[in-house]
């Protein structure tokens, strides 16, 4: 199960998805398929309006370089999520491409898939033009 361009069934933009989408979490109580390994929200450059229908790529080097390991679509509400098992070793770097071709990169190693546990809390929201 993962986010898809055009799909509008997700919710709670900007909140830490893994608060509920985990074993023992509110969503996880009903169905283990809803335990997310990646979950977050992407916003347009203003940081307020969700950036919809783009893609998030996970590479082995910063700025969309190295080997592409995973690719996920951003849904119609700006959320990206998956229950796919993600191997975070030896290090993954997110690279976001908006529906209009704008890009954004995280230049440090992704420590986990709980994007909104940091972004919008202790660091800026994920934004892309």
pLDDT, tens digit, for every residue of 81-114?
Answer: 999 999 998 799 999 999 999 999 999 999 999 9
pLDDT, tens digit, for every residue of 44-74?
Answer: 999 999 999 999 999 999 999 999 999 999 9
pLDDT at 47: 95
Q: Which of these, 117, 39, 116, 46, lies nearest to 74 by C-alpha position?
A: 39
The count of domains in the chain is: 1
Predicted TM-score of the model (pTM): 0.91
- The answer to whether residue 127 scores a pLDDT higher than 70 is yes
Contact criterion met (CB below 8 Å) for 103 and 128: yes
Q: Is residue 4 part of a domain?
A: no
Q: Is residue 57 part of a domain?
A: yes
Q: Is residue 120 part of a domain?
A: yes
Q: Is residue 1 part of a domain?
A: no
**Could you list the residue range(s) of the whole structural domain that residue 71 is in?**
17-128
Q: Is residue 74 part of a domain?
A: yes
- The answer to whether residue 31 scores a pLDDT higher than 80 is no
Residue 108: which CATH number?
2.60.40
DSSP 65-110: EEEEEEEEE--TTSEEEE-S-----S--EEEEE-TTS-EEE--S--
Contact criterion met (CB below 8 Å) for 66 and 95: no
pLDDT at 28: 63
């Amino acid at each position: 199960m993962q986010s898809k361009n055009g799909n509008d069934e997700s919710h709670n933009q900007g909140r830490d998805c893994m608060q509920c989408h985990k074993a023992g979490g509110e969503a996880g109580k009903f169905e283990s398929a809803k335990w997310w390994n990646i979950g977050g929200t992407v916003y347009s450059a203003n940081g307020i309006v969700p950036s919809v229908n783009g893609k998030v790529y996970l590479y082995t080097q910063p700025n969309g370089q190295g080997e592409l390991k995973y690719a996920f679509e951003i849904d119609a509400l700006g959320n990206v999520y998956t229950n796919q098992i993600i191997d975070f070793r030896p290090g993954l770097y997110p690279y976001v491409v908006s529906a209009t071709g704008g890009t954004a990169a995280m230049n440090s190693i992704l420590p986990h898939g709980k994007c909104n546990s940091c972004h919008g809390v202790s660091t800026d929201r994920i934004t892309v033009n």
